[in-house]
Structure 1
Amino acid sequence: MYLGDATWPEAGVELAETSTALVPIGSTEQHGPHLPLSTDHVIAEGLARAAADPAGVVCTPTVNVGVSPHHRQFHGTLSVDAPVFRDYIESLSRSLVYQGVDRIVYVNAHGGNVQHLREVGRRLHDDGTAYAIEWMWDESIPDLVGSLFEQNGPHAGPKETSMVWHLADLVRADQLEAAREDGCPDITAIETTRNGARIFYDAIENTHNGGFGDPTDASAEKGERLFEAATEQLVALAEWLDAQPWETLGPKPHVRERKRSGRSRSNRKR
């Protein structure tokens, strides 16, 4: 069930049947001249809503703005400070716990959110509040992604272009060649590290128009294959998570001290 469409009595019935929620999280940021600023949250919401009913879990409304300072030079990009984002997601998660949810999948479609979502998951796990994990759609189907595209790219490339093409009529097809030519089609051709250190902060340092990869290799048909495969992975994850006893998910107790022969610690000489 998508909670945003439910009445409160309907939500109560559904929440009584599951302990798991899918929380779609994206960004509002540049994705080259051919994709909308909404790319990441369109993908995240599409996957979460498609997986919720088959998995028998609930899906929350989407978090549309994430941590995107590395795209700040491009018009329209919105971002929140990382500590604010972490606190917001943690507060949202604790609200879900109050509603009876104790396991959460952050259905994430933006790389800049990853480390912060994992930190929130750590906080909730350490105090025994909930078991919350971050899930990135393309990381669930790496072999398929690798087989479909020769020059994939981590941002605004053919995989995201294909997904948006499948989900929404928002791809500017007349800009695909320009996106490739004025972007960074081959990320292996640029120097991103030196002596083991990452040497860039913002996307604009490596791409004039914000794109990475070759979006001319995208299609709605490829997007459908990606979407169906990733949805299948998310359903399986949610079903597994919902079926786990809390004892296997909650924080483990401190290790017990082994018994020692001889005098006890309190009787030893200082």
Structure 2
Amino acid sequence: MYVADQTWPELGEYVAEESVALVPLGSTEQHGPHLPLATDHLIGESLAREAADRTDVLCTPTVNVGVSPHHRQFHGTMWVDPPQFRDYVESMTRNLAYHGVDRVVYVNAHGGNVQHLREVGRRLRDDGTMYAIEWMWDESIPDLVDEVFERNGPHAGPKETAMIMHVAGELVREDRLEDARDGGRVDLDDSPNYMTHGARTFFDALENSPNGAFGDQTGATPEKGERLFEAATEQLVNLVEWLDAREFEDLMAPAHVDPQPGSRR
């Protein structure tokens, strides 16, 4: 159920019975010469809406701009600073709590958002508002990704290329796949900037890839994208069902170990 398509009485019927919502998030940032800047938020929204349809839970509008300053040198990349991103997502999620939602899955498709979404989830659980967890699509199916692609690439690689071929194929510049591979970085570990004496000595994507792409994109196909999409959706559906079956009290932070602070005063 997509929240923006509903009327308020229809949503009243939902929150009277259900308490789970999916919040899709991504980014608007460069994805090499072959993929649109919308790549991450298209993937996040497609997965969230599909899982919501299959489970009859609520899906909110998508957060399209994320924490992406590490791509800022490339034209069109947009970003917000981490504190503002965290505060915005937290405020938006508290809106859901006001309407009766007490558990949320952040359906995330951008690596730069991960740590900040986990921090928001901790804030919300620590004050007893709700249980909100971050879910990253490719991290839910790592073995399949490794099986399908020999050289995945952490960004703008074959897995994201295949997913966009599946969900929005008209936006893929298929004539630029070889350019993406040859003008980017196939293996991140081969970059002279990746690790120096045990430290990651880079901050921005441009320091490791001249065109912002990683991996070998030439092996991506819509069929492989569909396979990834279906597997990730299944994982998300399973997560929603698991979350829905939990008692709210069991999702909250455990109590301090005994003796409780101040209990002997």
Per the TM superposition, whether the score is higher than 0.5 is: yes
Deviation at 1:5, TM superposition (A): 0.9
Hey, what does 2:88 align to over in structure 1?
Answer: 88
User: What CA distance in whole angstroms lies between the structure 1 residues aligned with 2:241 and 2:2?
Assistant: 16
User: What CA distance in whole angstroms lies between the structure 2 residues aligned with 1:46 and 1:107?
Assistant: 10
Hey, what does 1:147 align to over in structure 2?
Answer: 147
User: What CA distance in whole angstroms lies between the structure 1 residues aligned with 2:179 and 2:79?
Assistant: 26
Question: Does 2:120 correspond to 1:108?
Answer: no
Question: Does 2:215 correspond to 1:213?
Answer: yes
Deviation at 1:255, TM superposition (A): 2.2
Equivalent residue runs for 1:231-246 within 5 Å: 231-246=233-248
CA shift digits 1:185-214 (9 cap, x unpaired): 122211412222111000000101000011
CA shift digits 1:67-106 (9 cap, x unpaired): 0000000000000010000000000110000011010000
User: What CA distance in whole angstroms lies between the structure 1 residues aligned with 2:184 and 2:231?
Assistant: 28
- Any conservation in 2 of the 1:20–1:58 contact (CA below 8 Å)? yes
Equivalent residue runs for 1:111-130 within 5 Å: 111-130=111-130
Give the letter for the 1:161 counterpart: T
Equivalent residue runs for 1:168-187 within 5 Å: 168=168, 169-187=170-188
Structure 2 regions of 5+ residues with no counterpart? none
- Any conservation in 2 of the 1:18–1:56 contact (CA below 8 Å)? no
CA shift digits 1:205-227 (9 cap, x unpaired): 01010000111110100000000
User: What CA distance in whole angstroms lies between the structure 1 residues aligned with 2:157 and 2:240?
Assistant: 28
Hey, what does 1:63 align to over in structure 2?
Answer: 63
Kindly tell me: are residues 222 and 247 of structure 1, through their superposed partners in 2, closer, same or farther at Cα, counting changes over 3 Å? same
Give the letter for the 2:251 counterpart: L
Give the letter for the 2:172 counterpart: V
Kindly tell me: are residues 74 and 240 of structure 1, through their superposed partners in 2, closer, same or farther at Cα, counting changes over 3 Å? same
Hey, what does 2:11 align to over in structure 1?
Answer: 11
> Which secondary structure state, in structure 1, belongs to the residue aligned with residue 124 of structure 2?
helix
> Which secondary structure state, in structure 2, belongs to the residue aligned with residue 76 of structure 1?
coil
CA shift digits 1:88-142 (9 cap, x unpaired): 0000110000011010000000000000000000100111111000000000001
Hey, what does 2:254 align to over in structure 1?
Answer: 252
Give the superposed CA RMSD.
1.3
Percent sequence identity over matched residues? 69
Equivalent residue runs for 1:15-94 within 5 Å: 15-94=15-94
Give the letter for the 2:242 counterpart: W
User: What CA distance in whole angstroms lies between the structure 2 residues aligned with 1:229 and 1:154?
Assistant: 19
Segment drifting more, 38-47 vs 2-11: 2-11
User: What CA distance in whole angstroms lies between the structure 2 residues aligned with 1:15 and 1:27?
Assistant: 29
> Which secondary structure state, in structure 2, belongs to the residue aligned with residue 197 of structure 1?
coil
Hey, what does 1:261 align to over in structure 2?
Answer: none
Count of paired positions: 261
Deviation at 1:265, TM superposition (A): 7.0
User: What CA distance in whole angstroms lies between the structure 2 residues aligned with 1:196 and 1:245?
Assistant: 43
Structure 1 regions of 5+ residues with no counterpart? 259-263
> Which secondary structure state, in structure 1, belongs to the residue aligned with residue 112 of structure 2?
helix
- Any conservation in 2 of the 1:15–1:58 contact (CA below 8 Å)? no
User: What CA distance in whole angstroms lies between the structure 1 residues aligned with 2:195 and 2:71?
Assistant: 19
User: What CA distance in whole angstroms lies between the structure 2 residues aligned with 1:13 and 1:226?
Assistant: 34
User: What CA distance in whole angstroms lies between the structure 2 residues aligned with 1:56 and 1:253?
Assistant: 33
User: What CA distance in whole angstroms lies between the structure 1 residues aligned with 2:189 and 2:264?
Assistant: 59
User: What CA distance in whole angstroms lies between the structure 1 residues aligned with 2:110 and 2:78?
Assistant: 13
Deviation at 1:256, TM superposition (A): 2.3
Question: Does 2:170 correspond to 1:195?
Answer: no
Deviation at 1:252, TM superposition (A): 2.1
Hey, what does 1:161 align to over in structure 2?
Answer: 161
User: What CA distance in whole angstroms lies between the structure 2 residues aligned with 1:52 and 1:220?
Assistant: 23
User: What CA distance in whole angstroms lies between the structure 2 residues aligned with 1:11 and 1:37?
Assistant: 32
| TM-score, normalised with respect to structure 1 | 0.94
